[in-house]
Amino acid sequence: MIAVIAQPEQAAVVEEFFELFKTPWEPYRPGVAYDVVVATTDEMPYPMPKLLISYGAARQNIDAAGGIVPGSSHAGGMVGHHDSPVPIYAGLLTFKTDDRVARYVTADVGLVGVGFQVGDSDVLRVGYDVFEEIRFLLSSGQPVGNAHIPALDLHIGMLREWILAAGIPVVEIPPIPAGHDFAVCLTHDIDFIGIRQHRFDHSMFGFVYRATIGGVRDLVRGRTRVGRLLRSWRAVASLPFVYLGWAKDFWEPFGWYLKIEQGLPATYFLIPFKRRAGEKVPGSKAAWRATAYDVTDLEQWTPVLMKQGCELGVHGIDAWHSPARGREELARISSAANGAAVGVRMHWLMQDATTPSVLEEAGYGYDSSVGYNETVGYRSGTTQVFRPLGTMALLELPMHIQDGALFFSNRLDLSEAEAETRCEPLLANARRLGGVLTVLWHDRSHGPERFWGDFYIGLVRTLKSLGPWFGTASQIVGWFRQRREVQFDGTSLRSTGTAIEPPLRIRVHDPSAGNYADIAWNGQTTLEVDRLLKGASERRSGLPRTELCSQS
């Protein structure tokens, strides 16, 4: 059992941290003997635990017991952790020590983590506040320069590693569905349903320019091929026939995606009201946010998509700042989805600090707007679905890979080979950390003049080869919600009783053997935590073991 001594204002952050690091914990109770105490205050536990981890960017009372002398304070820094540096955003303290103290954690600014003993207890003193780091990640989010680092997940990994290094076994429910290494959510923001709706407007003229002059420029820059350029010119030449209905609309997205994804579930975020740019939109081109279609123009496609196992969500206009508008937009899409629409991704990813609570008040079950327009990666530092601070029920499905971020000339502007290189670490992190990899591919990305469809085909093929669980946004958020509802009740592990599919993994780490055992559990039985810990190695029998792995 982990006990936590934290600042009163950190209560919500602590609770969310231990929903992500799903392991037994409780607020510290004086007089109780614990295996591990995690502290971000000066309060000293009594009796002392086997392991005390004292976090903080200011001097602590425990420092004197270890002979630790504070060094210098820094606004932040980069902590070394194996091959994955961990950025620190909310303050960092370095230490000066002698040879009696073990050097545990170093950063680019100096020594920030040291270990020593107080009586029979191990103490690890870390010069930053992990819960303030989590607060920053879940509220402000990472700057673009650190987007590639799953910082929150690495904080979980470091805490787990330190506990195991002290010889203390850990039981947890990792964010990994049994039978798979991770989950994948394929999503599509539908801003256009065809070029036929755009006659002599900025969308049409922009297309003509990019397909002709821009196409030649892209050919010279090595961003397109001659065959694609010729297809773009043919598309421009076909415009009069497309408008007359004599030629296929090359921007129509749904048939292409259904063919390429071949039965994989996907989530389509649809515009609720056409010709609404929305309020509070910054920039001189705010009017361009208005679309020429809305969900009422898709009566042919919405039942087809749902029949194929796909989900319809809200591509919100004003829901990010107005509960009333949010309810209106949700009702509009729900009517097309037979009442099944529960989620939203904001058009242009519009959001501010109040957006999560606004969306919750409007009745949404999940949001998927936390991501980057400028790059790919982990805005909140995690592969996991999480609950935004200040909400009670709304969950956030983070978005990780976006086509526009990879290929637009005013964003990363990558070639296909460069984009593959940029995405490879995200796939590797998904396999290593679990959680979900959320992919956004827009409506007209497959056609002229973008031709980003070939890359998407390869990406989906690669993902399928890795054997993840593919689910709609609602399915994946629902799985994480069921995981959150599981409780470590004293010495027992119990759920609400509803079958969890795919099953959860109950992971038992055995530090003495240097491995862990995974047990598939669908929540239909009660598991005894003490029994799990005693049966951590293969020497124990009677538990349905799915795999035994070396501890990494």
| Domains of the chain by residue range | 2-172, 183-194+252-478, 196-250, 486-550
Q: Where are the beta strands (DSSP E) in 334-376?
A: 343-346, 366-367
Report residues of the chain scoring pLDDT below 50.
537-552
Both structure tokens of 200:
């002599």
Q: What is the CATH number of domain 2-172?
A: 3.40.50.880
CB atoms within 10 A of CB 353: 11
- Sign for the pseudo-dihedral over CA of 485, 511, 502, 157: positive
Residue found by looking up tokens 């981890």 in the block: 53
Find out whether 192 and 293 touch, Cβ atoms under 8 Å: yes
The C-alpha atoms of residue 130 and residue 17 are separated, in whole angstroms, by 10
- Sign for the pseudo-dihedral over CA of 282, 287, 293, 296: positive
Alpha-carbon distances of 127 from 51, 96, 225, rounded to whole Å: 17, 12, 53
Phi, psi of 86 (to 5 degrees): -120, 115
Find out whether 544 and 523 touch, Cβ atoms under 8 Å: no
DSSP three-state, residue 527:
strand
Amino acid, single-letter form, for residue 531: R
Find out whether 306 and 329 touch, Cβ atoms under 8 Å: no
Residue 192 CB partners (closer than 8 Å, separation 6+):
198, 203, 251, 253, 291, 292, 293, 443, 444
183-194+252-478, which class in CATH?
A: alpha beta
The C-alpha atoms of residue 115 and residue 54 are separated, in whole angstroms, by 10
pLDDT at 64: 85
Residue 114 CB partners (closer than 8 Å, separation 6+):
66, 68, 95, 97, 101, 102, 103, 104, 105, 124, 125
Torsion, CA 33, CA 38, CA 43, CA 45, rounded to 10: 10
pLDDT at 547: 39
CB atoms within 10 A of CB 377: 25
Instruction: Encode pLDDT of 86-145 as tens digits.
Output: 999 999 999 987 766 777 788 899 899 999 999 999 999 999 999 999 999 999 999 999
DSSP class of 386: B
Give every strand in the sheet of 504-510, ordered side by side: 170-172, 504-510, 515-521, 545-550
CB atoms within 10 A of CB 444: 23
SS in 3 state form for 235-267? Answer: HHHCHHHHHHCCCCCCCCCHHHHHHHHCCCCEE
Both structure tokens of 507:
């992971």
Tell me, yes or no, if the two domains 2-172 and 183-194+252-478 fold the same way. no
Residue 367 CB partners (closer than 8 Å, separation 6+):
343, 344, 345, 346, 355, 356, 359, 388, 394, 395, 396, 397
Phi, psi of 241 (to 5 degrees): -75, -35
pLDDT at 536: 53
pLDDT at 531: 75
